[in-house]
Chains A and B, each alone.
Chain A
Amino acid sequence: MIATEKDLKTHTMMLDGEAVSFTEGETIYEVAQRVKTDIPTLCYDQRLEAFGGCRLCVVEVEGQRLPVASCTTKATPGMVVRTSTATLEKHRKTLLEMVASENREIDVDPLRGYAAQELATLVDRYDARGGRFRGKRSGATREDDDNPFILRDYDLCISCYRCVRVCAEQEGDHAISVMNRGFETQITVEFEGLLKDSACTFCGQCVQTCPTGALADKKALRFAELPGAIEKTRTICAYCGVGCSVDVLTKGDTMVGIQPAMDGPANHGALCVKGQFAYDFVQHPDRLKTPLVRGDDGKLHEADWDTALDRAAEGLRRVVDQHGRHAVYAVASGRAPSEAAYAVQKLMRAGWGTNHIDNCSRA
């Protein structure tokens, strides 16, 4: 929601001693985000309705006895809020120690997912490793789910419900649900079965929102041992016309995964199974690596570019010489970038002055 300047001036509140303006309906957390005041969160995902489950984002509000969750509490005019006090910081540290002590692993591979490092980052920031509750665990990993995309490593689950909510709110699929309560809480699917037999569409959204790596990208993890830093390149999905923004993850010259771009104008972080997981055709061994030219034996043979391009051009020249300029036709691709389509149509028009050009939208 883009608020105009005028709206923003409507109300004022005090945030850590500074007067800040806000629009009606904004939560304390949203206001803080906007003015770049950092409040730690675990169960928050900006795309989802605030849930108020982890209590890490609590802040003090003057006149209120207990701290409130900033992600669910709306800002009100004249409110005086402190986001960071000794009491709050101590509370956050204790919370994180509790959460951390239940998990087998805090430092998970970043290939697990977009948000997988959130817990580790917070635990470090609050120096909350090695809490008192070490040893006990919540959740049980589903090693039996042999689906090739999503690792269900519930040992690492902290019951933030982000996966459940993203599935319901963002995807509208409602494949994941919650069983039991408290320490026994378990994220599961219908009838506790395999994802494949549930309403799951393997869009990967739960993987990308999970703050601990409990749900993880199995395909990307194939490259966990590959040396090299992960680099991200912002681009657009190769499949349908929606045009979702994604980041391609690479290590050196190997494509190791895809993550959704949360600020993608067409998708706001959403993806589908193709955009999320069907990228490895790019580096498949079947790719054509050299030009091929049909020989006198009727077979295609490898050739260098000069030979192949000469043959391509020569064949066209011969046909035009014998049958005229209208004997050549070109079909541009609906998959390749626009520069390719533009070049093909220019070849036909600037080259032979014909409109013998179409693209593959009719099939």
Chain B
Amino acid sequence: MSNPLADMEKPDVIFAIGTNMTECHPVAATRLKRALKRGAKMIVADPRRIGLADLADLYLPIRVGSDVALLLAMAHVIQREGLVDPEFLADRTKESETFLEHVKQFPPEWAEQITGVPAKDIETAALWYGRADKGAIYYTLGITEHICGVDNVQSLGNLALMTGHVGREGTGINPMRGQNNIQGAGDSGALPNNYAGFQPVTDPENQKKFERLYGRKTDLEKGPTKVTALEMAGDQIRAMIIDGENTVVSDPDRHHCERALKALDHLIVIDLFMTETAQLADVVLPAAAWGETDGVQTNTERRVQRIRRAVDPPGLAKPDWWIICEIAKRLGFQGFDYPSAREVFNELCSVSPIYFGLDWDRIDRGEYQWPVPEQGHPGTPRLHEREFVSGRGLFRVIEYRDPAETISDDFPVWLTTGRRLASYHTRTQTGRSAGIDYLLPEETLEVHPDDVAAWGLSDGGWAEMSSPRGCVTIKVRATRRSPRGTVFASFAFNDTPVNVLTGGGYDPVTHTAELKVCPVRVVPA
């Protein structure tokens, strides 16, 4: 997030798009609710009438995968009505002229055809956001899990730039991170393109720096993303180490993923449970869980916080970092002799410009948000206050594209996937917590009541849902949260493996799978 969580209570206009916040980030949602109570207005754009939509002053029911069209038309209105912030454009951005010219082609009437949202509502949304003193954007995977995920994010960036809604309290472009330490994993350099602290591997200076630190030269070329690596499995890629991820259930196109992992000569899985992925491994190594190990995790507002051990791990289980270092030592690699997590973290701080001013003791109370470039620096709750990381904010010229697969006679229904409040990811954790079943005993397919009738289904009955990649049987639930022609399910339950169906396309830049859009056929089972 560009802005701290505390800022969520401050905007005048909230624009939440592709985020089911009340279910996926409930505590963050409580802050938005406080802003609403204070009188803030909220615009919610989502294909489904989610909980947040019930709280919205303006709800835009967009067709799945049509975000870019909506955002282009909003930019059009903001431009046409002269709501751009000229000073901000002149001082802090580049290529605004090209962009402002570009958006002239996309009036709300054009977007209505694509998004299904009435032009006058698009107009209103643009006026509210454009006229706001403090406008803030919040989004999650509903924006990124598309073939045009990068386009979506950049379209949001364009809106914020043209109105100057960045770098101030209660504004910003704020993606909400889904996993407890997904931010920290990227910060730590577990990325194919960056060393720790987002230092590009393609920069020869960084290569030299890390050669000095690690005693070995690392390739100047980016590595393949996980998605590409899975495609290369059994061919160029012959061995994998997977730490704490149930790849088989969480990734799109499950059959493909299973085949890929089976094609490896050697698979090492480090996990808490015998997951579907661990079952395919040659070596399974038991990790200490949350509550059993000391360490650091970084939240969605870049706050670096300590986690602490409260109980001993069961049996022989060990912290992940220990397991990895032991493997490294057995391969004869140098620099893996750490007495405890503290030393690992302190080394990370010493090589990372964004953590450089931090160390294990300094983050004891969790008051720092990175970047913390030197000791004594107070941290950076709000990014881009005076300058963007890259200097000036760059406008991107973006065109609308259809999703990888669109509905057809064979697959006439849009399936979109997501998560639910009471379950987390593939349920390896929530599924083993007493009582959670009481709230969420099984997966259901959410279908509009009129579609239930029209397709010959029954509420509580079974349906067969298929895509070009597979077929699942799933119980039907009639609900007006789904619009007509679009159905919803989560991928939490292994016995309803919805990701058998998904995976029609990937964003060409980030290789994020288009989990939010998948044309399917739904018939009574």
Contacts and interface: CB of A to CB of B under 8 A. Distances in A.
A238 B291 contact: yes
Contacts of B27: 242, 244, 266-267, 270-272, 275
A333 B300 contact: no
Interface in B4-45: 5, 22, 24-30, 33-34, 36-37
A90 interface: no
Interface of A: 147-149, 170-172, 196, 201-203, 219, 231, 233-245, 248, 250, 253-255, 264-267, 270-275, 277-284, 286-294, 300, 304-305, 308-313, 315-320, 322-323, 326-351, 353-363
Interface hub of A231, A347, A350 (most chain B Cβ within 10 A) = A350
B321 A340 contact: yes
Interface SS majority for chain A: mixed
B513 A363 contact: yes
Interface stretch (B77-85, B150-158, B187-195): B187-195
Interface string B290-315: 11111111111101011111111011
B331 A283 contact: no
B51 to A, nearest CB: 9
Interface of B: 5, 22, 24-30, 33-34, 36-37, 55, 176-193, 195-196, 201, 210, 214-219, 221-227, 229, 232, 236-245, 247, 250-252, 265-266, 268, 270-274, 278-279, 281-287, 289-301, 303, 305-312, 314-321, 323-328, 330-331, 333-336, 341, 344-345, 347-348, 365-367, 421-422, 424, 428-436, 438-439, 510-513
Contacts, number: 480
Contact of A329 (B29, B240, B324, B511): B240
A270 B348 contact: no
Contacts of B222: 355
Contacts of A323: 236, 238
B178 A240 contact: yes
A319 to B, nearest CB: 4
Contacts of B190: 332, 341-342, 344-345, 357-359
B356 to A, nearest CB: 14
A237 B180 contact: yes
A278 B433 contact: yes
A248 to B, nearest CB: 4
A312 B327 CA distance: 7
B435 A149 contact: yes
A242 B25 contact: yes
A343 B333 contact: no
Given A236-B307, A356-B229, A350 B216 contact: yes
A271 B187 CA distance: 25
A337 B184 contact: yes
A337 B296 contact: yes
Contact of A315 (B201, B282, B318): B282
B282 A331 contact: no
17 contacts: A242-B28, A242-B300, A266-B299, A272-B26, A278-B422, A278-B429, A280-B433, A281-B289, A281-B432, A282-B289, A292-B281, A316-B268, A331-B240, A333-B243, A342-B348, A347-B333, A360-B245
B310 A335 contact: no
A48 B338 CA distance: 45
Contact of B243 (A147, A172, A245, A331): A331
A337 B294 CA distance: 8
Contacts of A287: 272-273, 286, 289, 314-315, 317
Contacts of B270: 333
